[in-house]
Chains A and B, each alone.
Chain A
Amino acid sequence: MSNTEHHDYFGAKLGMWLFLFTELLLFGGLFLLYAVYFKRYPEEFAAGGRQLDWVLGTVNTLILLTSSLFAAMAVTAVQRSEQRRSMALIGGTVLCAAGFLVIKYVEWSAKISHGIYPGAERLKSGDPGESVFFGLYYLTTGLHGLHVLIGGILLVWIAVKVKNGAVTADNGILLENGALYWHLVDLIWIFIFPLYYLML
């Protein structure tokens, strides 16, 4: 029968886009909290933002943008049947993901060593606005970091599929969907970055 699931390219794309919507909404809840609390504590949010390292944040933004570029190029490479090139490009994306997480780790450790982490004494007894800002910061970047990790693992798995010849020019939907997911991870960061690092 023609209307079964096999190789329904459009159907697979549709499913993926729907899934991406749900991811946006998931983060949407956190952005909603951000909006409400920002209105309540504008000054504390600005002060909190100044404590974050905007240089590292910028570097991470560039890293993610580059990784998205690699992911897009990997898709094109498979479409041209250049499997090896595609695998190398996916490798580049995964390396960027790892770099991103390392920098995040450095940032978090620096903050934690200054006694700023959820549940810390300093936040408990200090300014309520600051506590809310950093609570949101850790949750949002933590959840995003988790997505970076999952996306990285996903891409490695897809690279193996490319190697095995399961992803080809005619049947590249897996890689395309993987890249879509990766762009989403990137996109969410594009919102997180200014909201947290660039608040005046």
Chain B
Amino acid sequence: MNPAQLPRSSFWNDTGKSGITAWIFSIDHKRIGLLYLFTTFSFFLVGVILGLLLRIELMAPGRTIMGAQTYNALFTVHGVVMIFLFILPGFPGAFGNLVMPIQIGARDVAFPRLNLLSWWLYVTGAAIVLTSLFTGGGPPDTGWTFYVPFSTRTVTNVTLAVFGVFVIGFSAILTGLNFVTTIHRLRAEGMTWGKLPLFVWSLYATAWVQILATPILAITLVLVMAERLLGTGLFDPGRGGDPLMYQHLFWIYSHPAVYIMILPAMGVISDIIPVFARKPVFGYKMIAFSSLAIAAAGSLVWGHHMFTSGMSDTAVLVFSFLTFIVAIPSAIKVFNWVATLYKGSISLEAPMLFALSFILLFSIGGLSGLILGAAATDVHVHDTHFVVGHFHYVMFGGTGFAFFGAMHYWLPKFYGRRYAEKPALVAWALMFTGFNILYFTMQVLGMQGMPRRYYDYLPEFSSLNLAATVGSWILAAGMVIMLVNLFRGLLKGEPAGNNPWGGATLEWTISSPPPTENFAAEPVVTHGPYDFSKTGAP
């Protein structure tokens, strides 16, 4: 096919059905993927607006635009939206669905109808969470962690919000078991485990974490609801319960959950970097294996969120030690990416810039994580803005930037059109600059002792806080440019052609946008995912 033309028919139109119901009841993985992309990304934008409001409040000491209670509610909703409505379902739901089946040479996922059900559960859960903001005692104000005893006593609408999150958890479990089954059963002929693209490997590890960890979150949330509705008192020290048990149960889920957030991002980066360095990835086996190692070791380190909770000293030591172990597979990945770049012929297009900034931002986030993972230093910076800076570096600088990278890398495939390159670079530069001004400042503030989750602070923190807020505006400006550019390009831009970047994975062998059945005939895989000798240069 002439690369300068769009194919006449694709999954956008070849079923002859394009009304809204043909989308929200579609069982095609590409349509479901786009549904996920639009819903999760809309929530991301909502979260960003809330974050910007938080930053405006912190622009100057004292009350700026809101009082204490509003601030408490806003950071809670910001956290809940970002974590449960965007980042956890976002990557597997959107790009996992869009790309993974094609990358393994399959027609669809193993259980397409279950896949649709997952999306519906997600939307239902999200609707319940949104309802909780406007009904009952008003938006929850507990922080996204729903810690007892406050979460069982506050009059705000925690019960409903928790129930919404419970429903979303169900959706995550179904996605997880769907993906594991798909990757085991539906690989095309010749697609051995050693030829799987690294994005698929990372989704495989992610899916296992979703399966193994989410049920614990579910039962924990059920317990919070039971405390509130029935008064079981299982976490109430006055009645024989132990609030610490809540923290254990919560983090048994929620720490592995941060690997649900970061692993797919690492997978995208492992796919992007070799393509733009035009070199086979360095240490394929180690990158694949380290995903599994992160998933496994990451399940044993939840206690590092609880160093100051009054847990026993032995437990603190053990958890601290295990936490350092997780750093090893993460570092393996970073070294391998850097080694892939070495002597590559690097082309700095938008996806690559996001990938490179991922490496830097994730490293900053990861290394500051070690400061928190070491019990002795953690005691000083626990619950300060240092922590806020740390997890934004990992979740936003890491997963968020990887998500943007994935949008620039893969969306031309699914829309068949390209965005303009220059505005994409400007947007990236603004976001990268703004991001660091915003969050590096927060880490410094934390070191100086500014606690998190307060709407007010001592006057000596003023100037840095102002700087952080200005950083958040630069970041937001970059994001606006990025979105406008993506949107315009995907709708009206130049046709992308089948393989705009010269990738060697299977999705680049079919037309852009792909037809509903993906491959005209079942592909037979003969070369590895990063073997560029077989693909023409772009």
Q: How far is the CB of A2 from chain B (nearest CB, A)?
A: 7
Interface set, chain A 12-28, CB cutoff 8 A to B: 14-15, 18-19, 21-23, 25-28
Total A-B contacts with CB atoms under 8 angstroms apart? 133
How far does the alpha carbon of A25 sit from the alpha carbon of B188 in the complex, in Å?
32
Which of A14, A26, A37 sits near B215, CB closer than 8 Å?
Answer: A26
A1 and B107 contacting across the interface, CB-CB below 8 Å: yes
Interface set, chain B 21-51, CB cutoff 8 A to A: none
Interface set, chain B 82-107, CB cutoff 8 A to A: 105-107
Looking at chain A's contact residues, is the secondary structure mostly helix, strand, loop, or mixed? helix
Report chain B residues within 8 Å CB of A26: 215-216, 218-219
Answer yes or no: A110 CB below 8 A from chain B CBs: no
Q: How far is the CB of B514 from chain A (nearest CB, A)?
A: 14
Answer yes or no: A135 CB below 8 A from chain B CBs: yes
How far does the alpha carbon of A26 sit from the alpha carbon of B114 in the complex, in Å?
20
Answer yes or no: B234 CB below 8 A from chain A CBs: yes
Interface set, chain A 114-148, CB cutoff 8 A to B: 118-119, 123-124, 127-132, 135-136, 138-139, 143
B177 and A22 contacting across the interface, CB-CB below 8 Å: yes
Which of B112, B188, B233 sits near A3, CB closer than 8 Å?
Answer: B188
Contact A4-B240, Cβ < 8 Å, known A22-B211, A118-B226, A119-B232: no
How far does the alpha carbon of A174 sit from the alpha carbon of B390 in the complex, in Å?
47
Residue of B nearest to A31 (CB): B219
Residue of B nearest to A16 (CB): B177
Report chain A residues within 8 Å CB of B184: 11, 14
Answer yes or no: A41 CB below 8 A from chain B CBs: yes
Report chain B residues within 8 Å CB of A136: 234
Answer yes or no: A82 CB below 8 A from chain B CBs: no
How far does the alpha carbon of A28 sit from the alpha carbon of B176 in the complex, in Å?
19
A128 and B242 contacting across the interface, CB-CB below 8 Å: no
Contact A11-B185, Cβ < 8 Å, known A2-B522, A28-B216, A132-B239: yes
> How many positions in chain A have a CB within 8 Å of any CB in the partner chain?
42
Answer yes or no: A10 CB below 8 A from chain B CBs: yes
B231 and A118 contacting across the interface, CB-CB below 8 Å: yes
B186 and A3 contacting across the interface, CB-CB below 8 Å: yes
B239 and A22 contacting across the interface, CB-CB below 8 Å: no
Interface set, chain A 91-133, CB cutoff 8 A to B: 118-119, 123-124, 127-132
Answer yes or no: B127 CB below 8 A from chain A CBs: no
How far does the alpha carbon of A27 sit from the alpha carbon of B220 in the complex, in Å?
11
Answer yes or no: B60 CB below 8 A from chain A CBs: no
A131 and B240 contacting across the interface, CB-CB below 8 Å: yes
How far does the alpha carbon of A114 sit from the alpha carbon of B107 in the complex, in Å?
60
Report chain A residues within 8 Å CB of B240: 37, 40-41, 127-132
Report chain B residues within 8 Å CB of A143: 222
Most buried by A among B111, B233, B242, B249: B233
Answer yes or no: A43 CB below 8 A from chain B CBs: no
How far does the alpha carbon of A149 sit from the alpha carbon of B433 in the complex, in Å?
56
Report chain B residues within 8 Å CB of A15: 110-111, 114, 177-178, 181
Q: How far is the CB of B218 from chain A (nearest CB, A)?
A: 6
How far does the alpha carbon of A36 sit from the alpha carbon of B522 in the complex, in Å?
53
A29 and B215 contacting across the interface, CB-CB below 8 Å: yes
Report chain B residues within 8 Å CB of A128: 238-241
Report chain B residues within 8 Å CB of A131: 233, 239-241
Q: How far is the CB of A160 from chain B (nearest CB, A)?
A: 18
A22 and B214 contacting across the interface, CB-CB below 8 Å: yes
Residue of A nearest to B519 (CB): A1
Answer yes or no: B327 CB below 8 A from chain A CBs: no
A10 and B185 contacting across the interface, CB-CB below 8 Å: yes
Answer yes or no: B212 CB below 8 A from chain A CBs: yes
Report chain B residues within 8 Å CB of A41: 240
A124 and B239 contacting across the interface, CB-CB below 8 Å: yes
B522 and A3 contacting across the interface, CB-CB below 8 Å: yes
B232 and A135 contacting across the interface, CB-CB below 8 Å: yes
B110 and A1 contacting across the interface, CB-CB below 8 Å: no
B215 and A22 contacting across the interface, CB-CB below 8 Å: yes
Report chain A residues within 8 Å CB of B178: 15
Contact A132-B241, Cβ < 8 Å, known A5-B111, A29-B219: yes
Map CB proximity to B onto A164-186 as digits: 1 under 8 Å, 0 otherwise.
Answer: 00000000000000000000000
Which of B222, B234, B245 sits near A135, CB closer than 8 Å?
Answer: B234
Answer yes or no: A30 CB below 8 A from chain B CBs: yes
Q: How far is the CB of B362 from chain A (nearest CB, A)?
A: 29
How far does the alpha carbon of A18 sit from the alpha carbon of B188 in the complex, in Å?
22
Contact A14-B181, Cβ < 8 Å, known A3-B107, A8-B110: yes
How far does the alpha carbon of A22 sit from the alpha carbon of B242 in the complex, in Å?
25
A139 and B216 contacting across the interface, CB-CB below 8 Å: no
Extra inter-chain contacts (10) besides given A3-B185, A11-B186, A118-B226, CB under 8 Å? A1-B519, A5-B112, A10-B185, A29-B215, A29-B216, A29-B223, A128-B239, A129-B240, A135-B233, A139-B222
- 17 A-B pairs (CB sep. < 8 Å): A4-B107, A5-B110, A10-B185, A14-B185, A15-B177, A15-B181, A18-B177, A18-B180, A19-B173, A21-B212, A22-B173, A25-B215, A29-B219, A40-B242, A124-B231, A138-B230, A139-B234
